[in-house]
Amino acid sequence: MKEYWSSRIRQLTPYTPGEQPKVQNLIKLNTNENPYPPSPKVTEAITAELGQSLRRYPDPEGSTLRAALARRYGVREGQVFLGNGSDEVLAFAFQAFFGPGDTILFPDITYSFYPVYAALFGIQCCTVPLNEDFTVPVEQLLGQHCGIVLANPNAPTGIELPQGELVRILEANPDVVVIVDEAYVDFGGTSALPLIDRYPNLLVVQTMSKSRSLAGLRVGFAFGNENLIQAVNCVKNSMNSYTLDRLAIVGAAAAVEDEAYFADRCAAVVNTRAWVTERLEGLGFTVLPSKANFLFASHEAVPARALFAGLREAGILVRYFDAPRTDQFLRITVGTDEEMATLCRELERLVQS
């Protein structure tokens, strides 16, 4: 019916997040959550904040957390923006830099939220097909006078664009903002963060959801020069002054400060990813070279859709994107060694039967 809906909203198709099943005892490898719990310091910090303080508004600037991020990443506080998950950070950044009538470019295979934001804000999209091997066709992103959005490592492929190539893109597009979405960078990728002082058109977006095991706390952040950060803040402060609650601010700050725990858990995911890749290749899978906490894998003989259904029946949830070029692949989050051993056994059974 859609009576009363504004005309732009009538035409939207919202983003569909991966399933959050209510059934227990599933092995959940479908939304790229970290298999390890967050640092115990997160629980401590949140526990200390509970009670009386909740009656008060949070600090709208999230200063404690911004300071922790600035220290950890060696930037100034004015170069840090905070949001309610990197999805919100991206939504604000799209509005800050691109308006109705503007066009943005991104690969045809990438995070499927980008075209949704664009439709919401009246921004035109132009997609650039990835190369046959799923790498980014850099030449097609040079001097286009359109905003550019790149997930790096890309999703759902896991492939990283080398930093030299990113620099080419930044230098060939000095007149537009390039948003680099680094949700998965901490699992062996190279962050573009050191480039923000050199390139005033670079916004780097990251999240606590994956590498810091805090998907449930909703904290994302961005780095860029002060001018870009001010623009994103202007949007945020025109929508909602207090996007991060008190518990998210203190919990995320504690996670950032526990560097040893973070490094250790990221290394564990990277180790698991290595042996699972080998094992899948042994079973006849093509596995794209991943720098993320997931694998994008296609079997030479068995259709991905059948594997997806078979795994689901065996109580293992992975993600399947039923679209051209991706419909022969499964996206499999890297879980614990034990979970991944079960996954490999089930895939072996399915492939052989």
Smaller CB distance to a copy of itself: residue 140 or 241? 241
Among 27, 146, 180, 217, binds a copy of itself (CB under 8 A): 217
| Under rule CB under 8 A, residue 15 binds a copy of itself | yes
Phi-psi region of 39 (alpha: psi -120 to 50; beta: other; left: phi over 0): beta
| Under rule CB under 8 A, residue 237 binds a copy of itself | yes
Which DSSP letter does residue 317 get?
E
| Under rule CB under 8 A, residue 245 binds a copy of itself | yes
Query: Minimum Å distance from CB 275 to a copy of itself?
Result: 22
List C-alpha distances in Å: 277 to 6, 263, 294, 333, 340.
47, 21, 10, 12, 10
| Under rule CB under 8 A, residue 251 binds a copy of itself | yes
Query: Minimum Å distance from CB 324 to a copy of itself?
Result: 23
Q: Is 147 helix (H, G, I), strand (E, B) or coil?
A: strand
Per the CB < 8 A criterion, the answer to whether 149 and 114 are in contact is yes
Token output for 151 = 């997930």
Residues 157-216 that bind a copy of itself (CB under 8 A): 176-177, 200-201, 209, 213-216
Smaller CB distance to a copy of itself: residue 153 or 224? 224
Q: How far apart are CA 27 and CA 25, in angstroms?
A: 6
Smaller CB distance to a copy of itself: residue 25 or 52? 52
| Under rule CB under 8 A, residue 132 binds a copy of itself | no
Among 54, 126, 142, 263, binds a copy of itself (CB under 8 A): 54
Query: Minimum Å distance from CB 10 to a copy of itself?
Result: 9
Query: Which residues touch 202 (CB under 8 Å, ≥6 apart)?
Result: 170, 177, 178, 180, 192, 195, 196, 224, 225, 228
Q: Give the chain's count of helices (H) and strands (E).
A: 11, 12
Per the CB < 8 A criterion, the answer to whether 36 and 213 are in contact is yes
Smaller CB distance to a copy of itself: residue 247 or 340? 247
DSSP string for residues in 29-88: -SS---SSPPPHHHHHHHHHH-SGGGGSPPPTT-HHHHHHHHHHHT--GGGEEEESHHHH
Please list the helix, strand and coil fractions of the chain in percent, rounded to the nearest 5, in that order.
Answer: 40, 15, 45
Query: Minimum Å distance from CB 299 to a copy of itself?
Result: 28
Query: Minimum Å distance from CB 21 to a copy of itself?
Result: 10
| Under rule CB under 8 A, residue 263 binds a copy of itself | no
| Under rule CB under 8 A, residue 14 binds a copy of itself | yes
| Under rule CB under 8 A, residue 247 binds a copy of itself | yes
Strand partners, 124: 103
Q: Are strands 178-181 and 147-151 parallel, antiparallel or unpaired?
A: parallel
| Under rule CB under 8 A, residue 52 binds a copy of itself | yes
Query: Which residues touch 115 (CB under 8 Å, ≥6 apart)?
Result: 125, 127
Pick the piece of the chain touching a copy of itself (CB under 8 A) from 31-39, 137-145, 185-193, 298-306: 31-39
Residues 101-130 that bind a copy of itself (CB under 8 A): 102, 116-117, 119-120, 122
According to the 3-state scheme, what is the secondary structure of 79-137?
Answer: HEEEECHHHHHHHHHHHHHCCCCCEEEEECCCCCCHHHHHHHHCCEEEEECCCCCCCCC
Pick the piece of the chain touching a copy of itself (CB under 8 A) from 83-91, 129-137, 324-332, 342-350: 83-91
| Under rule CB under 8 A, residue 51 binds a copy of itself | yes
Smaller CB distance to a copy of itself: residue 142 or 234? 234
Smaller CB distance to a copy of itself: residue 62 or 153? 62
| Under rule CB under 8 A, residue 333 binds a copy of itself | no
Pick the piece of the chain touching a copy of itself (CB under 8 A) from 68-76, 85-93, 184-192, 287-295: 85-93
| Under rule CB under 8 A, residue 97 binds a copy of itself | yes
